Amino acid sequence: MPDPIKISCSRLPGVMLCPPSHLVAGIPIDSSGEASQVGSAAHAAMRVVVEDSLDHLPDLYEFANLHGVEDVSDLFFVAYRCMKDWKEYGEDLRVLAIEELFEGELVCASTGQIIKLSGHPDIVAEELLDDDPALVIFDWKTGYLDTDCFHQMMGYAVLAMRRWPQYNRVILIVSRPRFNRVDISVEFSRDALDRWQEELFLRLTRESFCPSDDACKYCPAAMSCEAKHATIRSASLDLVEQSEMEISDLERMARSYDKRKMVGRALEQWDKTFKEALQAAGSVSTGDGTELYLESSESESPMLCEAALPVLYESLGVEGAENLFLLLLDHLKIPKKDLSDIIGARSARGEKGANIKACFERLSELGAVRTSRRRLIKTRKETQDD
């Protein structure tokens, strides 16, 4: 009988991509970064909102202090979006569990392999809209990188459906405040969850490491994993060779794209480590008569908040918010996502998308939208020719 495998749901996306990653002893995930602290504070605030059935956010400064958040405006931004999504979807739910630990054993019928699965879904709830209600797993993903959490949510669903056997279907809802998006899955039946478990057991029979940007970026073994390091070494040489070709082989470059992301991430990590060390050392010699040191630069953007109004009236020689607005008219820009949020909040249910679209179309026709273009490399499924 194979030894049981312990996996937490948060590791499932990585395990599905690189099955042996569960074997490698990990380094605990660093939660000291600013985005991580903002995420913890926003989650703690939302826990209070759900527990106390609040229709407003609690005092976020208190949560900022508790979680060491310095950029309070970022916490306001993230928590506001979490609250907006919860107001939109939470009102149709009856909450059954908040950040509870769920644990269970999954057993493979053919091999006897046992997986000891555990996880803390943010919210488990019951849908209120139907005679045959579905169970709902609701999670806030407050980071920038955790873009694919499908398998984590499926792990939560399997565990929660065991706790409440009366439900036949489960729906997964992921709020992504940083992307102003909510992802809602189709409904999964118990059969669909069983098929997902079979796929998980099948993947775990694969023994070869599969380094890729998606698999390695969150893997706790990433600092010490030889498979990943070997991939980055060979990718670095390959990229240098490709960049020196006069006309590069486009398909070869496309095949290297994922590896290029891994090299890029390794360089980012190198910069971060080096800057931290340089900060501590003050300066360091390069050995050729020069030295490196850190210099901070800051840019300031005055806020048009209520407290600033008297100062702006006096400094600009105007009186009243309307005159100030007219004076600043050609200098003000509204971030598209903020304007969309405001229109959305003032729209009737079901009209939000159409109102936002209509507003932007009309502004574009008037030449009142400034467009800047960037070119990003994106991925999508290949279209097959018949």
Going residue by residue from 2 to 41, which x/- string records binding to ligand SF4, judged by CB under 6 A?
------------x---x--x--x-----------------
Stretch that binds ligand SF4, among 131-139, 142-150, 165-173, 220-228 (CB under 6 A): 220-228
Per DSSP, 288 falls in state S
Q: Which is nearer to ligand SF4, 5 or 24 (CB)?
A: 24
Q: Which residue has the tokens 């996880």?
A: 119
Q: Does 235 bind ligand SF4 (CB under 6 A)?
A: no
Judged by beta carbon, residue 58 or residue 220, the one nearer ligand SF4 is 220
Which residue is it, tokens 């990718």? 235
Strand partners, 137: 124, 172
For residue 210, give both structure tokens.
């599969």
- Selected binder of ligand SF4 within 135, 149, 219, 266 (CB under 6 A): 219
Shortest distance in whole angstroms from residue 256 CB to ligand SF4: 17
By rule CB under 6 A, what count of residues binds ligand SF4? 14
Query: For strand 135-140 and strand 169-176, is the pairing parallel, antiparallel, or unpaired?
Result: parallel
Contact pattern for ligand SF4 over residues 190 through 209, marking x by CB under 6 A:
-------------------x
Residue in the structure block whose two tokens are 């279907």: 169
Half-sphere exposure at residue 259, Cβ-oriented, CA atoms within 13 angstroms: 21
Using CB under 6 A, which of 90, 133, 143, 211 touches ligand SF4?
211
Least CB distance to ligand SF4 at residue 199 (A): 18
Shortest spacing between CB 309 and ligand SF4, in angstroms? 53
**Closest approach of ligand SF4 to the CB of residue 103, in Å:** 24
Residue with Cβ nearer ligand SF4 (78 or 216):
216
Tokens matching residue 272: 């971060």
User: Near ligand SF4 by CB under 6 A, which window of 71-79, 148-156, 176-184, 213-221?
Assistant: 213-221
Q: Rounded to whole angstroms, how far apart are CA atoms 228 and 183? A: 31
Q: Is residue 292 a contact partner of residue 286, using CB atoms and an 8 Å limit?
A: yes
CB of 19 to ligand SF4, least distance (A): 8
Q: How far apart are CA 163 and CA 318, in angstroms?
A: 64
Query: Which of 30, 34, 98 is closest to 67 using CA atoms?
Result: 34
Stretch that binds ligand SF4, among 115-123, 168-176, 216-224, 327-335 (CB under 6 A): 216-224
User: Which of these ranges, 124-132, 215-223, 335-343, 373-381, lies near ligand SF4 under the rule CB under 6 A?
Assistant: 215-223
Which of the residues 314 through 353 are near ligand SF4 (CB under 6 A)? none
Nearest to 141 by CA among 66, 22, 64, 46: 46
Alpha-carbon dihedral angle through residues 214, 215, 219, 221, given to the nearest 10 degrees: -130
- Give yes or no for a contact between 173 and 139, defined as CB atoms under 8 angstroms apart: yes
Cβ-based nearer residue to ligand SF4, 14 or 155: 14
First to last CA, the chain: 47
Strand partners, 7: 117
Site string for ligand SF4, 120-159 (x = CB under 6 A): ----------------------------------------
Q: If binding is defined by CB under 6 A, does position 221 make contact with ligand SF4?
A: yes
Question: Using CA atoms, how far apart are residues 121 and 119, in angstroms rounded to an integer?
Answer: 6
SS3 317: coil
Segment interacting with ligand SF4 (CB under 6 A) among 128-136, 171-179, 223-231, 338-346: 223-231
Q: Which of 225, 235, 343, 356 binds ligand SF4 (CB under 6 A)?
A: 225
Which of 113, 150, 153, 112 has its CA nearest to residue 136? Answer: 153
Identify the CA nearest to 340 among candidates 324, 357, 327, 325.
Answer: 357
Scanning 28-36, 196-204, 217-225, 308-316 for contacts with ligand SF4 by CB under 6 A, the matching segment is 217-225
Q: Rule CB under 6 A: which residues touch ligand SF4?
A: 14, 18, 21, 24, 209, 211, 215-216, 219, 221-222, 225, 227-228
